[in-house]
Structure 1
Amino acid sequence: MSTSLQTHLQRHFGYEAFRPGQEDIIRGVLAGENVLGVLATGGGKSVTYQLPALMLPGITVVVSPLISLMMDQVQQMRAQRRIAATYLNSLLEPADMRAVMREIESGMYKLVYISPEKLQQSHVQTLLRKVGVSLIAIDEAHCISQWGHDFRTDYLRLPEVVQALGNPPVLAVTATATTAVREEICDLLKIKPEHVVLQSLNRKNIAIDVIPVMEESERRAQVLHQMDEWKGQGIVYCTTRQAVEVLVATYQLEGKRKVHAYHGGMNNMERMLIQQQFLSGELDMIVATNAFGMGIDKPDIRFVIHYQLPASMEAYVQEIGRVGRDGEAGYAALYYAWEDVQIHQYMIEREYPTRRQIDQLAELLRQQQSLTTEALTSIELTQEMADLLVFYAQRVSAPYRDEVDPGTELRDHADRVYAELERRKLLKQRKLAEMIRFAEERENCLRKGINGYFGETGHDYTLQCCSVCGLERSLYKDSRQSMNTGRKETSWDLRQALSVLLPK
């Protein structure tokens, strides 16, 4: 088996050897076991399901949360590895969707990438049962966990889909999973403890720098300076679209390098074009919200700058993990100010409906079969919020009765739904509090703090560690001009926020 795996790896992917954890995951999958693989960003998660897809009969279904990610991976496989792959998602026109489904039925493909929403559709499940599914791979598997930072309701419905498709082996992969998240993934997908492959998330070649700032003007000046001087290509992450657009507009007036904005407000084709320009080296930098980067397989990104504080440690680790996948030295800078915390608190409050909105939605659902955009706007709800409320109404119902309409279900269980949403809100606040603790650290190694959050003990590094242990920023610059490497103290204390977010 080992020789066969090595042969397939060399033939189809051009690699001489497996990365840590890959072979153990693949062996488990080929033995018919459900497996959870936790590999660091850049650890080669895609190979763990792409290689088995070539060796197993039938097709492998890959559940992916981002349309741009699945399209990029399918394009790469067709162009570079000649693996028969396709995708099913909401961007396909009806005629194209029917054509792809006919091709899947004919046995043309070994890999089918699909969004979790599309996988819920009965006609898609009927097709997949007919052709035979040998493996279901769930990418970004932390989305299935309510303890995760990016929970999605359609992911939580995946166990039912697995059963509907005949219970084929399941491979769940992710780069960021705390102990609680891993336990919930294993419980939902029936993964035994001995079939969890856990690799260190510590990226030894990335220097970690945290830079507090007093004022927005100070932060913008420092970041614009770094964007001009840092070596190689990089990503600048902002929390809001407005921050992205302002920073890009300012830099394009004063800066020396090629930079472009990227956020969820752009159409899909525009985002795909910008992404491709960055991957091909036509752009030096992307200034983006967290909409950019998931699944980006670019080995030579040299730096990531967080213009504002991320919402969670999981998001932060995923984003800095895009640096230095080639093993060469990389740099991650995190700027933060008190207003960053206020922005996240506002976004958390806006993300979850009020008790009154729950009642209003229940009444709308009882009055009409489908919700129009105008109807949802009238009660200040998005479609995503409405879907979340209906999902929780069904989840807390015991038992859920198909003959009861969603509006009645939501009305009858409104208090329990609201309590569930408040629990989710508190969880997000706790994750924000952990991020604040990290940013406020003055005495203990930042790398050690990151790894400890995910239950790891090691924190070794190859060149430089972090700004607490000592950091020379000039090593990552193109010019010889040195920057002030001393840490600036701020007059405010983010520890005050912890008493608000985590009341004793």
Structure 2
Amino acid sequence: MDIHKGLKKYFGFDAYRTYAGEPLQENAVQAAVDNKSLLAVFPTGGGKSITFQVPALMAGENAKGLTVVISPLQSLMKDQVDNLERIGITDAVTINGLLDPIERAKSIERIQDGRASILYISPESLRSKTIEKLLLGRKIVRFVIDEAHCFSSWGQDFRVDYLYIGDFIKSLQENKNLEEQIPVSCFTATAKQKVMEDICTYFNEKLGIKLEIFPSKATRTNLHYKVFEKGDDEAKYNTVRDLMEEKDCPTIIYVSRTRRVRDLATRLSEDGFNARAFHGKMESQEKTENQNAFLAGEVQIMVATSAFGMGVDKKDVGMVIHYEISDSLENYIQEAGRAGRDENMTADCYVLFNEEDLSKHFILLNQTKLNLHEIKQIWNAIKFITKFKPSVQKSALEIARAAGWDDNLKEIETRVTTAIAALEEAGYVKRKQNMPRVFANSILSKTAQEAIDNIMRSQKFSEKQKKDATRIIRSLFSSKSRKQTNLDEAESRVDYISDNLGLHIKNVISIVNLLRERTTVLACIILQRFVSF
């Protein structure tokens, strides 16, 4: 368990990185090996990954232990696993929607048979029975929470599903009858004092854990910053072109809206620049292809929202351009920090500023803000639907309707779950694991092949969606067949389909909606993603 021998063995380095002369990375690794819980605030590109990977790989080799790494972005997970494989380390796997069915099955198998010592998952995955069952079958040596600022409502990327992590760990420990606490490591690149306090308080109250703090300053001396004030979009675009022609290097251009991502990437491509797009609402396959092309150097320019870059380890990014100003200083530090991850190079960070950009951010902020009145509406809805029984299973849409909300409200599921999280924190309700289900009770087609033929003729599906829809249809017909031969219910749970077919749950729901609303294959599919109380 010598941390220096481990660093040399797995990564080939002779010494750990220091921050302003302080051996914080080495101290954090030693604390993890000593089974302590910790919070490390290291700058972007400052070696966070190695800090938890060295103890994880050592624990995997010495005790067949599994380290669970909870990350907010699928691209981050894939990038970390790929980076380890490039240096010959095959102990890490991920389970997420970017995997094809074969990759997913291999990941699950490697976790089950003990070959994997690091598992990357999203916080939402903790509400999956599949993930719970996998973790119950392994010795868990540590939970690592990356981008830990997502815990705090004061953080720039507050994510409500992070608040379930403590409950899941507690439940896992109880189900495994563990006498000792599973240690926790939290990592973030930027955190205000209030955010750090929130993270420490959360784990102290949820699990009785005291986090040892390893803070560093976010200073990056190899980055040069400059702001250009531009009057309109055309002036911004011309500036981008000038910068690209002046400095031929891997570049990330950040914009705030998904629609502009595609428009800007297309225009740059038409003008002879090698550019691709990336945002969170793109198809998983296209996101993966574009990210891989950029990392491999096949594409010079990535036009993206903030969904791209978190944890992506491309050391030769020489320029980051903010086409619009970031919505917070913390976000800007994170995004600009994608540049110059090789300390021996100098990189440039530019902001194209327009007063109207600030107004757009305030409008977006007001659209997503949840007020006390709305939380009360959700509470009244829950009281109504639990009037005759204390435990129910309802979808976010059903709860929203019971609260009198407009069905077309933007991000309705996120708003409902955020309100429920606030009520849960106040002790009013207890949210359990998700129980998604699809009821296939009125299939018009007589056979699976007839349904598949209808899908293939439809113009509403992309080629990939046709393939996935075909697999879903076969699963639904299989469920119907089992119902006819025994007493099983004629239903297939969305998470069951997702897990067994290796499809992301959002893709399954999207395809089922297409089947229900835009084709004649299914007359009545009742789609429900349940929130259980």
Fold in common (TM above 0.5):
yes
Q: Distance between the aligned counterparts of 1:250 and 1:92, measured in 2?
A: 31
Q: Cα RMSD between the aligned structures?
A: 2.6
Match of 1:55 in 2: 58
Q: Does 1:179 align with 2:196?
A: no
Q: Distance between the aligned counterparts of 1:252 and 1:274, measured in 2?
A: 14
Deviation at 1:220, TM superposition (A): 2.2
SS state of the match for residue 165, structure 1?
helix
Q: Does 1:279 align with 2:295?
A: yes
Task: Give the direction of change, closer, same or farther, for the CA distance of 1:334–1:107 in structure 2 (3 Å limit).
Answer: same
Q: Distance between the aligned counterparts of 1:31 and 1:371, measured in 2?
A: 43
Q: Distance between the aligned counterparts of 2:296 and 2:105, measured in 1?
A: 33
Number of aligned residues? 398
Match of 1:384 in 2: 414
SS state of the match for residue 131, structure 1?
coil
Mapping for residues 469-484 of structure 1, pairs under 5 Å: none
Match of 1:133 in 2: 140
Task: Name which of 154, 173, 195 aligns with 2:161.
Answer: 154
Task: Name which of 25, 28, 34 aligns with 1:25.
Answer: 28
Task: Name which of 2, 9, 33 aligns with 2:7.
Answer: 9
Say which is worse superposed, 362-371 or 170-179, in terms of deviation. 362-371
For 1:139, the aligned partner's letter is D
Match of 1:417 in 2: none
For 1:393, the aligned partner's letter is L
Q: Distance between the aligned counterparts of 1:362 and 1:36, measured in 2?
A: 34
For 1:38, the aligned partner's letter is V
Deviation at 1:14, TM superposition (A): 2.1
Task: Name which of 338, 353, 363 aligns with 1:336.
Answer: 353
Task: Give the direction of change, closer, same or farther, for the CA distance of 1:5–1:290 in structure 2 (3 Å limit).
Answer: same
Deviation at 1:84, TM superposition (A): 1.4
* Consecutive unaligned residues in structure 1, runs of 5 or more: 404-504
Match of 1:393 in 2: 423
* Consecutive unaligned residues in structure 2, runs of 5 or more: 19-23, 174-180, 386-392, 433-533
1:19-44 deviations in Å (ceiling 9; x for gaps):
12221111001111111111111111
Cα contact 1:13–1:81 (8 A) shared by 2: no
1:382-429 deviations in Å (ceiling 9; x for gaps):
22222112222222235x4689xxxxxxxxxxxxxxxxxxxxxxxxxx
Match of 1:302 in 2: 318
Deviation at 1:45, TM superposition (A): 0.6
Match of 2:469 in 1: none
Say which is worse superposed, 141-150 or 224-233, in terms of deviation. 224-233
Q: Distance between the aligned counterparts of 1:96 and 1:321, measured in 2?
A: 31
Task: Give the direction of change, closer, same or farther, for the CA distance of 1:49–1:83 in structure 2 (3 Å limit).
Answer: farther
SS state of the match for residue 394, structure 2?
coil
Cα contact 1:83–1:110 (8 A) shared by 2: no
Deviation at 1:168, TM superposition (A): 0.9
1:36-74 deviations in Å (ceiling 9; x for gaps):
111111111111111111222211111111112112222
SS state of the match for residue 89, structure 1?
coil
Task: Give the direction of change, closer, same or farther, for the CA distance of 1:93–1:119 in structure 2 (3 Å limit).
Answer: farther
Match of 1:325 in 2: 341
For 2:280, the aligned partner's letter is G
SS state of the match for residue 26, structure 1?
helix
Q: Distance between the aligned counterparts of 1:73 and 1:251, measured in 2?
A: 29
Cα contact 1:34–1:189 (8 A) shared by 2: no
Deviation at 1:215, TM superposition (A): 2.8
SS state of the match for residue 191, structure 2?
coil
For 2:421, the aligned partner's letter is F
State TM-score, norm by structure 1. Answer: 0.73
- Aligned-pair identity in percent equals 33
SS state of the match for residue 378, structure 1?
coil
Cα contact 2:155–2:195 (8 A) shared by 1: yes
Task: Give the direction of change, closer, same or farther, for the CA distance of 1:123–1:274 in structure 2 (3 Å limit).
Answer: closer
Cα contact 1:38–1:173 (8 A) shared by 2: yes
Deviation at 1:5, TM superposition (A): 2.0
Q: Distance between the aligned counterparts of 2:431 and 2:56, measured in 1?
A: 37
For 1:214, the aligned partner's letter is G
SS state of the match for residue 113, structure 1?
strand
Deviation at 1:165, TM superposition (A): 3.2
